[in-house]
Structure 1
Amino acid sequence: MTRRIVTFTLAALAVILLAFVAWLGTAGCPLLRIATGSVSRGLCDAAFVSHVDPGQVFREQHAPMMRSIDWAIRYHVDRKHREVRASILGGFAARAVFRPGLGCLLMHDDGPVPEADGFTPMLIASAFPAGVVETADPAIRQAIDRAFAEPDPAHPRNTKAIVVLHDGRLIAERYAPGYGPDTPIWAHSLTKSLINALVGILVREGKLQLDQPAPVPAWRRAGDPHRAVTVNQLLRMDSGLPFDETNGIISPLTRMTFLQRDMAAYAAGTPLAHPPGTHWAYGNLDYVLLGRIVTHASGGSAVDAERFVRRELFAPLGMAHTVIQTDATGTLIGSGGSYGTARDFARFGQLYLDDGMIDGRRILPAGWVAYSHSQTLDTGYGAGFWLNIKHDTRVPVWNAPWGMPQLPKDMYYARGAFGQYVVIVPSEKLVVVRMGISLDYGDGTGDLVAAIIAALHHPQP
């Protein structure tokens, strides 16, 4: 009997081992490498870009998304060498390295770090005064306090920053403990709206045209259906490339972001799912390609691109603490690679509220703002911005709302994962920025802005 039990146990263990090996050879290995890549870069950004507690960021952002394997993840923050390494049970190692002025770079080997030295970014003066500006209006204060509250501890909002501009003036702001006016926060897909502005600047300079075929060298081959894709279609996400951001850990987005050294090459090699201009699909692939286009148009290297971004966009706006990071080839990660303060993104929203002008200087071409929030096909999306005109359907795949029905219809907004928002309400001369680490859709931003608008219409002494 004992021998039979031992034989059965060994056979069962062998089956489990074979199944585990097969899993590693298919989904397992990419999943674990994505996990360690995400942790190493995210905590590198926390430690050396945001200067917040990496352990807190791991607990709030990474562990909840990796509940089945979070116990096995180990990471080390090396402050001397300004890098973070992560592994799972001693394997699947990943390393991210901080580069001054360029942010953190996810390395795909232990080789030399490209463009790590010799770049001193220009200093940018903030457009706002030192110190936190607190509102005198109790209704606005109450609205902001509610946005920082945690009504459902099982689904925390983790609000980190709120900034309110009205008629161009900073009238209210609040920050979570450990965060402040100078704390850059991962902006996720707010980056796509930054890319919209950079493409607009290149259009104004005559270096790009909206209706030209996208200047992607891999798409120039005769007979390639990608040849028909235009810059406009990449901005509007109706290029025909597939919806690439699903709820699972493994998706085209995560494969591209954490497994590929050359993200734009991966995007360019993705087959079209639809003829260009006929179908909308949320496209990180599109914006990675736009990041490559902007990088090439501004000189070709990470340093060239960063200098261009700071000179033409960040410096005029006073965005003193914002950076768009790059991949290992030096390409701007246009899909979601930026970090910036809530104040910086408020200034960015004000640029669009003021029709592309700052202090009498035209940054964006005439008509660019109207173009950016004009509707794409039958969706609630424009060109790098979300709209508030579509409430009869929901975003495909995500089943999320297109807009915020409690707000004016002329509102449009930049939106990033985990609750990053730049809400622009022209009819109210209002910009509201909300940033945090909210893993669920219930971050309350629409209600926050609605309460602020109500308070502005009924000011209290």
Structure 2
Amino acid sequence: MRLPSRLIATLAVLPALASCSSEGDSRPPLTKEALAAIAQEPGAPIRQLAREVDDLFSKEDLGETRALVVMHGGTIAAERYAPGYGPDTRFVSWSMAKTVTAVLIGMLIADGRLRLDETPPVPRWQRPGDPRGEITLRQLLQMRSGLRHSEAIDPPYESGEVRMLFLDGRDDMAEFAESQPLEAEPGSKFEYSSNTTVILADIAARVLTRSRDPDVRRRAVSDYLHNRLFRPLGMNSMVPEFDRAGTLIGGSLIHGTARDWARFGDFLRNKGSYKGTQLVPRRWIEFMVTPSPRRGNYGAQTWLNRDPPADDDPLFATRGPRSLFAMIGHMGQYVLVAPDRKLVVARLGHSDETERPPMAQELADIVALYPGR
């Protein structure tokens, strides 16, 4: 049978049209580097995953992605680094450290050294008549202590966390944070606060040692973290920072490789379990990812992909999944955990305020490649 010439011409261009639609008309071909970043069985379509990973490193207006590790089912599905960075590079956590501090507190509660709904051991709050004595550990973890604070405001030198980290509070950060008066009734108001997490780190030091010697405090917290958390997880790169008073800078300064940050995310995905050992109770991780009574997209030192207030969503709640939660740090440090997809995505780099929202959408594109249960 002889086909009409018009039909023959149409059939001839179909393979080219299919190729264009699969890669996008304006996109360059995938490079060898992009494809080499993907494991043989990544749990998602290889070329699509390679494209999404490549976009994070090559698209304009997203900032600078320096490292990306995707883990699926506990194994690395994709891994890529920008020039000058690699598997041995330690990356600063910024506020991702808050989630580590929350796990530290959970371990101490499991040890019977702290109680969630009691006033924590902060001596200045326990003086007779001090209204801060009503603040509970739960309220500190959920960022609703009521303490006066302003985070990331202009001018920066008036911001509470900048003053604590770099100006008049830098030598004894906990003293600075704990001396702030109340601006709201404890429990009544959400106020994101790096200073609050330093208070939690000070509380940890106080229950691990009675000494006020900075070296003793530093050693007590560092040993506890390494012996009870980092070493059992194989997170051997982790380096926590301390201030001059020996307090862990638990809201912002812990360093580790991209693989170790992803490994910590996978530990959270498994609800505190690693290779059959429960390092922190499952119910504690469940508490960390339960919405605060005063903020739908925040749990206990952990961000949630749900119910954000207007114009304040650091994730992608409209795209789901609702079960996804995250560690998020200044300038675009992200560890995303999607339990229903057995997925962890660790992105480390440098993105400014305008670059972070589109960059987060690129991360959402990676998550979307993995089907949920």
Whether TM-score is above 0.5 comes out as: yes
1:234-257 per-residue CA deviation (whole Å, 9 max, x = no partner) reads 110001023431232211111111
Q: 1:331 to 1:425 in 2, by over 3 A?
A: same
| Residue ranges of structure 1 left out of the alignment (5+ in a row) | 1-131
Q: Are 1:180 and 2:86 matched, yes or no?
A: yes
Question: Which residue number corresponds to residue 19 of structure 2?
Answer: none
Q: Are 1:135 and 2:39 matched, yes or no?
A: yes
Q: Are 1:351 and 2:261 matched, yes or no?
A: no
* Aligned match for 2:100, one of 182, 186, 194: 194
1:196-226 per-residue CA deviation (whole Å, 9 max, x = no partner) reads 1100111111111111102111111111111
* Aligned match for 1:442, one of 352, 355, 369: 355
- Larger RCO of the pair (alpha carbons < 8 Å, separation 6+): 2
The equivalences for 1:206-225 within 5 A come to: 206-225=112-131
Question: Which residue number corresponds to residue 343 of structure 2?
Answer: 430
8 Å CA contact retained: 1:372, 1:382: yes
1:445 Cα shift?
4.3
**Paired residue type of 2:344:** V
Distance across 2 between alignment mates of 1:392 and 1:269: 30
8 Å CA contact retained: 2:306, 2:322: yes
Q: 1:277 to 1:392 in 2, by over 3 A?
A: closer
Q: 1:133 to 1:286 in 2, by over 3 A?
A: same
1:278 Cα shift?
0.5
Question: Which residue number corresponds to residue 390 of structure 1?
Answer: 307
1:177-213 per-residue CA deviation (whole Å, 9 max, x = no partner) reads 1111111111100010000110011111111111110
Distance across 2 between alignment mates of 1:192 and 1:422: 12
**TM-score calculated relative to the size of structure 2:** 0.82
Q: Are 1:289 and 2:199 matched, yes or no?
A: yes
1:446 Cα shift?
3.2
Q: Are 1:258 and 2:180 matched, yes or no?
A: no
1:133 Cα shift?
5.9
Farther off after superposition, 262-271 or 252-261: 252-261
Question: Which residue number corresponds to residue 246 of structure 1?
Answer: 152
1:455 Cα shift?
3.1
Question: Which residue number corresponds to residue 57 of structure 2?
Answer: 148
1:413-455 per-residue CA deviation (whole Å, 9 max, x = no partner) reads 1111000111011111111011111122423443333322343
Distance across 2 between alignment mates of 1:134 and 1:402: 24
Farther off after superposition, 298-307 or 439-448: 439-448
Q: Are 1:452 and 2:360 matched, yes or no?
A: no
8 Å CA contact retained: 2:265, 2:336: yes
Distance across 1 between alignment mates of 2:114 and 2:65: 38
SS at match of 2:113: coil
Q: 1:456 to 1:280 in 2, by over 3 A?
A: closer
8 Å CA contact retained: 1:393, 1:401: no
SS at match of 2:362: helix
| Residue ranges of structure 2 left out of the alignment (5+ in a row) | 1-35, 41-45, 210-215
Identical-pair percentage? 36
**Count, aligned residues:** 320
**Paired residue type of 1:140:** L
Distance across 2 between alignment mates of 1:161 and 1:312: 27
**Paired residue type of 2:223:** R
8 Å CA contact retained: 2:70, 2:78: yes
The equivalences for 1:45-194 within 5 A come to: 134-136=38-40, 137-152=46-61, 157-194=63-100
Q: 1:344 to 1:212 in 2, by over 3 A?
A: same
8 Å CA contact retained: 1:161, 1:180: yes
Farther off after superposition, 421-430 or 442-451: 442-451
**Paired residue type of 1:134:** I
1:123-170 per-residue CA deviation (whole Å, 9 max, x = no partner) reads xxxxxxxxx963341111111110112413xxx611111111111111
Question: Which residue number corresponds to residue 314 of structure 1?
Answer: 230
Distance across 2 between alignment mates of 1:144 and 1:337: 27
Distance across 1 between alignment mates of 2:364 and 2:352: 22
1:266 Cα shift?
0.4
Distance across 1 between alignment mates of 2:370 and 2:194: 36
* Aligned match for 1:331, one of 240, 244, 247: 247
**TM-score calculated relative to the size of structure 1:** 0.66
1:16-50 per-residue CA deviation (whole Å, 9 max, x = no partner) reads xxxxxxxxxxxxxxxxxxxxxxxxxxxxxxxxxxx
Question: Which residue number corresponds to residue 21 of structure 1?
Answer: none
1:457 Cα shift?
4.5
1:345 Cα shift?
1.0
